[in-house]
Each structure stands twice: as structure tokens, then as C-alpha cells.
Amino acid sequence: MGCRNGEGDLLGEVPSAASTIDALLLATVCAVGLPVEVQVKDGSLYTGLFHTASVDDGYGIVLKKARMMKKGRWSSNLGSGAVVDTLVVLSCDLVQLIVKDFVLPTEGITAYSVGDSMREGIDSVDSHWIDASSCNVTGNSEVHELHHVESFTTSNNKHTDLRTPNEIYGEEVQEHSLKMTSPVQEGQVERKAHEQENSCSQIDDEASTTNTVIYEAHQFSPSLNSVDENHADFTSKRVTSGERCRNPVFSSNRQEGFERTNNILRDVLSNDQISTNLTSSSSVASISSSTTTNHSALPNLPASHCSTFTKEFKLNPEAKVFRPSCASARSTLAVIPTAVNTSYASSIPPEVPVAATPSSLEFSSLSNCTPLSAKFVQYSPLVAGQSGVITEYPRPVMGPANARQQLVRVSRPYHPVQSGAAYIHQNSQPVLVGRTGQVVYMHSLPQDPIAGTTVLSQSFPLLRPFQANIPKLQGTPAQSMQFCIPQPLISRGSVQPFVMPSPVQLSPPVPPVRAIAVPGGNGFFGSKFQ
Amino acid sequence: MDSGGGEELGVGWFFSFKTTFGEEFEGQIITYDRPTEIVIIQEGTSKPEGRRNVRFLKSTYIKEVTSLRRGDDPLDAKGCLIDLAGLQAREDAALRQAEIEAERIGIGVTSEAQCIFDALSKTLPVRWDKTVIVVMDEVRVSSPYLPENVNGGTPAANERVKKVLELERRRLQARAP
């Protein structure tokens, strides 16, 4: 640790990086959940709950429930007094973080309970730190991969010198997206399919909530209403123009740092929400950019970007609980060429092809699906394979328990996960809608990034689940009646003979009921049960 | 202080700092992380139960540093044990509390409206519906939040809210001067 007595430490004695990092991490972890004040380089002051930090290539932090206390020299899109759900302050903008009434671990050790869980947590922190160190070692390869991706996009467009200031600013925004790209590519091989699915669901989550915002302070652009819109617009420009990030190495490392710290603190704290917000800022913007109108170049989106969308949330394993608007996210990812990246396609098998399928095809598929195939899909998780791709059926457990979910699966055997997830999210969606979203504090770019309205793209995720489910539910009314309606009729007929003997007075009304219910059921449904 | 000058801040030493923003304070350096250029400073003013303000200050924003004295080791991390579950619980509780407090703050309302809201909340369940104060989920008090602006609800509830609003307004006016 970086603790030492003061003998001769004033000058010259440089603590080792590991020890100081440990001390910094220790203090950082102990500050989690505490109200803090953050000063950024324009002088503005923010307060919020300290959530996580990145210690890689600078010290970036993430605040929850942040609001501005003091306005700085530059204008920003975060109004004074407005509460932002998640505020990301990059290391380049951070001046200081003040933790009020902080108790150092040594002093406040009594405040923590001593137990096995504690030691497990410490071990986990250590192990994560080891992983982080290994990431440092392999950082060059990640950078090369990133360069490869970037060069791919650059080769398509040669008008880099003709960039407008907005595009340049968009580059800056895209830089954050790229920061997520490198860790994604890093773990591409070793990542599990369900993790990718989780990341995809997390993207859906963010897309549905449409609350992810890149917070930026601008010297010349006080007119921003939604930074997210700007971000989306810039990112879209970035995608269409294919311009390179000016500093991909730095950006990738920085994002990696965020993600790494998320790894550390997230797994420790198992707070997936935050990491989602942290890493999803650019991805959601990218998704919204794809949904932003009039970008014909989107089909040329490299598969690496697509993989970024789905993999950058690997740290949120619990995000699948929400899995809200998979349909919307997939619709935005419909341009993804599934065959380009085999590992990616195999990891997310049922979703990508479905996303590319128009809604009309989904409707028509209802008639094509036989009840037999539907039942087969329900009880066989391995049936989901499609187009020769080896797929993992991610959620075989979720379906049979829910009757409505079964209906969805019946209607569309090849993407039961999508439908089920979309349906499940409707229940959890109100919770997510209320979130203000993530904000990344950025500034000092002298350009007014007024963007096109991406409100519609943000609102789509909220609507897509309903659009996807309603036709499916409507398409299977007969099947639902087969499963649900006959049961009360049969049970009523079977229960009555046992109940009848005791109350004599009830006998007169019972026969009419029996006469009405049983013949009707036999006439309409009896053929299928006999 | 220029961090790029090769100097290292001494861990455990008490310094007087002056930032580039003109802020001055004294504190003990807990650690200095060169890669991130973050100095963790524990301010000297001790509070009950050892609580102090701790700053994570980027060294590049330190303008002046004056060495005061040498102190003991501020952080003995060897024996540190962290209850991660407790940290998570603390954060969750803080988030819930922050959400509750955020819901109590009206957006786009005047300070007077917020004072009325706070006053009503002492006796009645209230919430904001944009700029409208909703009392007991049925009575709505719209701007300018006068008794005649009370609408909805049962007659009894409406009268009740009017009466409370009138009294609270009278009380607020009494405080103002």
C-alpha cells in the first residue's frame, strides 16, 4: 500500500505504482456510496453520490444523483439544480473530489463487519486488480485491434480534411465509443455467449430508457437541451464519415480504465446499473445514431462496432433482468452483417437475425409456425439454431413458467428470447423510464454541437416491445384458448360431482350451469381434447 | 506545484495547499498516485469519530505547496478490511434517499412554491406533478398556489387542503419579514 511513515518521504522516494494504486483504490472503494463534491476544470462544482472510478490513464469518476452546485466558467448542458442520474467525469476534466466526513479504512474499521464475506471481497478486489494489471500488459494489442477497426472505417472515407467542426466534435464523442471498443475486442474470444447476451440486453435497457447522456460543457454552446441528441448526431456523423479517432490509443485506454474499474467495483458491489450507464453512453448514442434518420451509410457499419454494442456491457450480468427493448435495439442493429464476425454471430444467435426481419415477416411467421414446432421450441432449448449458426439458447428457463411468454414463443419459435425479454421488460420499464440517465462531463471543445432530433429514436425502444408483442399475442388467440379456457370448464365439471352431495339446496342451480358450460366446451374445444 | 517536475509529494506529511482556483487548505497526504496524478489529502480539521474531509486532488491543479510538518502514517492498509456488502448497502440506501429527496424538489417552480410544498408535506402527503402540487393523490394545487387554486378531490379533502394551504401561507408570510 502506499502508506508509509514520513521518514525521508518528502522528496525523492517514489512509491511503487502498485502500492499507490492500492492505496488509491482502497480509498476509492471506501468512498463508494458517500456524498461527494466534484470540481471540474472550468470551476463548476457538482455534488452527488460517489459510485465508481477509473484509475487507468487518469482518474475518472462516476457520480450518481449528481447536480450542479456551482456553475463554472463554461456553459454546459447540465442545468443548475437539475439532478442527473449518472454523471461521468473524465479524468481530463477532474480537478478534485472532496469526500465529506470520510473515515479512512484504518480509522473506520469498526464500522465494517468482519467476516468471511469481507475477506472474499478483498480477495475479489485483489483478483480484479490482477486482471487489470494484465490488461495493462495487453494494452498494445488492443490498441492494434482498435487501429485496425479504425483504419477500416477510414478507408471508406477520404474527406477527413473536410470535416466540419461538428464532425470534429463528433470525433471526440466517438472517441468514447471507441474506448469501449477495445475492451470488447479484448474479451471477444474468451467471453461467453450469455455475457454477450447480457450486454445486448443492457444495451436494450439503455436504449429503452433513452436516458444515457454525454454531458458536456461548451464554451460557445449553451443552447443544448439534450446532450444525448448531440452525441447521437455526432456519433452518426462519425459512423457515416468513418473518420478516425484522433487519439484512439488514449481513448481506448481511458475507456478501458473505466471498464476495468467497473470490473473491480462492479463485481465487488454487484451494482450493474452503474456500469451500464458508464459504458453505455457512447453505445447508446451509437444506436440512436443508427436510428437517426437519413444515414444511408449505416449498412456499412463495421461488425466491430456492432460487437461493441453487444459486448461493452459484459460487466452487467444482471442486466438481463431488465432486457427491455431488445426489439428496438435489434432493429437498430438490423444492419449488422451477422456473417462478418462469426464469434459475434454465434454468441447472439436468435436476436440479430430476428432484428433484421421486418415486422411484416414476423406477422407472417405466425401462420407458418405450427403448434408442434412451438411446443418443441418450448421444451427444447437447442432448437433455436438458425441459419446454420451454432447458437446458445440463452433462456430456456424463463419461458415455460409464464403463460403469456409461452404464447410469444409459440408465435415465433426462432426468437423466443427476444419476445420473452421484451415482454418481461414491460413490467420493469417504469422503473427505468424514470432515470435521468448517464452524463459524461466533457468540455472545452469550441463548437456548438446542435444536433438533429433523436427523440424519436430514443422513444422507439419504449414502443417497440409493445409493437412486437401485440401482433404475436393476437396471432395466437386460438392457442391461448386451447391452453387456458378449457381448464375452467373441465375443472368445473369435475369438481361439481364432489361438491354436490353435501349441500342439497345447491343442486338446482348446478345442472343448468353444467348444461351450459359442458356442451359449449365440447362443441368448440372438445375435438381437440378427445 | 508542477507534477511533471519530478518532485514527489511526501506521504504522511502535512502541507498547506493552494490550488489554481485559489482555494487554500491544509492537510496530510495519504497517498500520491503518479500515474493518475491524484493526491489524496486528509484535511487537518478533525471531526468527531475521526471523520475528516478527504480530497482526491489532481496534482496538476496544485499551485503552491508549503510543508508544515511530518505526521504519522495516515493509512495502514495492511489491516484494512472492507465490508463490501456494507458498502453496497450504503450506496443503495444513499441512492434511495437521494431519489426520495429528488422527488420532493419541484422542477421549474419558484422557491415560494417549493416552500409551500415543503410546508404542506409536513401535514399531508404531497407530490409534484410538474408544477402542480398533488395532495393526497386527488387534490391539485396549481400555480400561484393560492387557496382558490385548489381543485379536485372530495369536498372534504378540498376544504382540508385549502385550509392547510391558507395557514401555511400565512405562516410563511409571517416568517418572511
Contact B58 A15 (CB under 8 A): no
Instruction: Assess if residue B87 is contained within a domain.
Output: no
Q: Nearest CB to A24: which of B19, B38, B105?
A: B38
Instruction: Assess if residue B45 is contained within a domain.
Output: yes
> Same structural domain for residues A194 and A340?
yes
Within 10 Å of residue A401's Cβ, how many Cβ atoms?
Answer: 8
pLDDT of residue B95 exceeding 60: yes
pLDDT at A439: 58
Q: Nearest CB to A3: which of B70, B76, B102?
A: B76
The model's pLDDT over A50-66, given as tens digits with 9 standing for 90+, comes to 998 888 778 899 998 88
> Same structural domain for residues A393 and A504?
no
Considering only residues A369 and A51, tell me which one the structure prediction assigns the higher pLDDT.
A51
Task: State the DSSP H helix or E strand holding residue A277, giving kind and residue range, or none if neither.
Answer: helix A272-291
> Same structural domain for residues A379 and A507?
no
Instruction: Assess if residue B84 is contained within a domain.
Output: no
pLDDT of residue A167 exceeding 50: no
Q: Report DSSP letters for B99-136, one per residue.
A: HHHHHTSPTT--HHHHHHHHHHHTTS-EEEETTEEEET
pLDDT at A92: 87
SS3 B57: strand
Contacts of A172 (CB under 8 A, 6+ apart): A234, A442, A445
Instruction: Assess if residue B37 is contained within a domain.
Output: yes
pLDDT at A26: 85
The model's pLDDT over B135-176, given as tens digits with 9 standing for 90+, comes to 988 899 988 888 888 988 899 999 988 888 888 888 888 876
pLDDT at B56: 92
Amino acid of residue B102: A
Partners of residue B66 in chain A, C-beta under 8 Å = none
Q: B72 with A5: CB under 8 angstroms?
A: yes
Of A76, A305, A293, whose CA–CA distance to A182 is shortest? A305
Instruction: Assess if residue B24 is contained within a domain.
Output: yes
> Which residue range(s) make up the domain with A510?
493-525
> Same structural domain for residues A383 and A511?
no
> Same structural domain for residues A507 and A406?
no
* Distance separating alpha carbons of residues A342 and B127, to the nearest angstrom: 52
Instruction: Assess if residue A94 is contained within a domain.
Output: no
Order of all β-strands in the sheet with B139-141: B126-129, B132-135, B139-141, B150-151
Of the residues B29, B55, B73, the one at which a domain ends: B73
> Same structural domain for residues A369 and A510?
no
* Distance separating alpha carbons of residues A103 and A156, to the nearest angstrom: 55
Of the residues B53, B73, B93, the one at which a domain ends: B73
Residue B88 cell numbers, joined: 453496497
> Same structural domain for residues A295 and A394?
yes
Q: How far is B146 from chain A (nearest CA, A)?
A: 25
* Distance separating alpha carbons of residues A288 and A233, to the nearest angstrom: 8
Q: Nearest CB to A33: which of B76, B94, B105?
A: B94
> Same structural domain for residues A299 and A356?
yes
pLDDT at B49: 65
pLDDT of residue A124 exceeding 50: no
In chain A, count H helices and then E strands. Answer: 22, 8
- Mutation target vs A (from B16, B40, B70, B127; most A CBs, 10 A cutoff): B40
For A17, A362, A413, the CA distances from A367, given in Å and listed in that order, are 64, 9, 12
> Same structural domain for residues A384 and A451?
yes
CA torsion, ordered A438, A443, A449, A455, to nearest 10 deg:
10
Q: Nearest CB to B58: which of A35, A94, A114?
A: A94
Domain count of chain B? 2
Instruction: Assess if residue B21 is contained within a domain.
Output: yes
pLDDT at B35: 84
ipTM metric: 0.79
pLDDT at A441: 62
> Same structural domain for residues B19 and B68?
yes
Sign of CA dihedral A217, B43, A17, A28: negative
Residue B177 cell numbers, joined: 419579514
Contact A97 B31 (CB under 8 A): no
Instruction: Report A:4-33 residues touching B (Cβ under 8 A).
Output: 4-7, 9-15, 17, 20-24, 26-33
SS3 A325: coil
* Distance separating alpha carbons of residues A30 and B40, to the nearest angstrom: 13
How confident is residue B177, by pLDDT bands cut at 50, 70 and 90?
Answer: low
How many contacts does A have with B, using Cβ atoms within 8 A?
242
Instruction: Assess if residue A213 is contained within a domain.
Output: yes
> Same structural domain for residues A403 and A519?
no
The model's pLDDT over A339-363, given as tens digits with 9 standing for 90+, comes to 333 333 333 333 333 333 333 333 3
Instruction: Assess if residue B62 is contained within a domain.
Output: yes
Amino acid of residue A241: S
Sign of CA dihedral B45, B46, B51, B57: positive
> Same structural domain for residues A194 and A252?
yes
Contact B32 A15 (CB under 8 A): yes
Instruction: Assess if residue A275 is contained within a domain.
Output: yes
Instruction: Assess if residue B96 is contained within a domain.
Output: no
The model's pLDDT over A387-414, given as tens digits with 9 standing for 90+, comes to 344 444 444 344 333 434 433 344 444 4
For A28, A104, A295, B55, the CA distances from B27, given in Å and listed in that order, are 18, 14, 54, 9
Q: Nearest CB to B21: which of A43, A58, A99?
A: A43
> Which residue range(s) make up the domain with B15?
3-73
B157–A contact, CB cutoff 8 A: no
Domain count of chain A? 2
pLDDT at A37: 92
Q: How far is A20 from chain B (nearest CA, A)?
A: 5
State mean pLDDT over A498-518: 46
Partners of residue A100 in chain B, C-beta under 8 Å = 53
Residue A121 cell numbers, joined: 471481497
For B115, B120, B149, the CA distances from B176, given in Å and listed in that order, are 11, 17, 22
Partners of residue A68 in chain B, C-beta under 8 Å = none
Place of cell 394551504: B165
pLDDT at A235: 33
For A32, A260, A261, B85, B89, the CA distances from A121, given in Å and listed in that order, are 14, 16, 15, 8, 14
